[in-house]
Structure 1
Amino acid sequence: MTSAWVRLCGFLLACAAANESMAGSVLLPADVAVTLTATPSSNLNAGQRITMVISVTNNGPDPVDRVVLLSSAIYNELDTTTASADCAGNLVLAVVDLGSSFYYMYTWSAATAATPIAPGESRGCTLNIDYTAMAPPIFPVTFGFPNWLSDQNPSNNTATATLLGAAASPAAPVPTLSAWGAALLATTIALAARALFSLVGSDRAHRSG
């Protein structure tokens, strides 16, 4: 696996415009499956380091020589200035200018004409990046095919990892009694109630006497 590099796409909106102009123009002769994991992905706090692992697998039947994945938009939820990567192929950080604002987007070129992916082969890209205080409680990150690329099975061309801030992470489960513990508790309550009733009855008998 070759070392990846991360660079800034200085031509801003031209990156996105190029993708739009080539919509649907490449059909891969195989089924390429995309997966994405993030660790950690819950109970996240600002400044915490996240490791994302993106992978592509050629399920065949033929080799593929043009596999590109795009990330979903990143505004300020992740700190791109802290990012480091180790990927098969090139990982590029693009800036998309919206006029009054902008966002970042990663592009991973996993296969080219010089480095095709054979049937049964998988390739990976590891991206390390810091979580920020600007991230919403629930922040999904997606990597998938651009709109100009398709293959024999579009259902697995995109993968998502959901990042949960500390406020959005599931609470620890409340301990519950086992069946034996519940039975013991019920017996204890019944005995206590019987003793109480017995005490009250004795007190009434004593007063009437």
Structure 2
Amino acid sequence: MLSAADLAIAAARSHAAMATLEQELNAADAKLGDGDTGGMLARVIERLAAVEAKAGDDLGKAFGAYAQAATAATGSSLGTLFATALLVFGRATKGTTELAPSDLGRLLGDARDAMLKRGQSELGDKTVIDAIDAVARATAGINDWAALSAAAGRGARAVLAEFNDRPCKIGRARMFGDKSRGLDDPGMLAFVRLTDAVSAA
């Protein structure tokens, strides 16, 4: 079962990963945008890592606190989408202190749908939401955290490779058209790298 304390561990792992990931994401974004995705995400995760959460805390309130922290850290579209996903998790877990692994895929699917609506995008646009969709499908119904972590990592890496040679269809990157083929979407890359960091034993 996942508790608020596990969320704090995940935030800490993500924060540690950003020490090297920030520059990788900035470099990826420089090919398709402003080159600031890494810096923006580093600010968001620094705020998330500062949120206090411990075992026994209401999960809904913990996710809500993380959503508020993400919103306060940045007004970027990627930050807004992450906050949207965290709010979905917060509403779904309100009044509970633990989350079963078998529920994660479903909640990721709900977060995906909310993010698509908020971002006015579609699956296949080559965004972070495509990666979230892949992990939601890969983890559906799995009731063991070790197996779920492995499936999440495989699903995330597979979708990154699958979309690498596709064009970006939304956001500033869409202006590059076919020139965006062979380049990773920075948001998708961030999600995949952080999935690996969080699921590391």
Q: Do they superpose with TM above 0.5?
A: no
Q: Normalising to structure 1: TM-score of the pair?
A: 0.22
Say which structure is richer in strand. 1
Q: Which has the higher contact order (CA 8 A, sep 6+)?
A: 1
Say which structure is richer in helix. 2
Q: Normalising to structure 2: TM-score of the pair?
A: 0.23
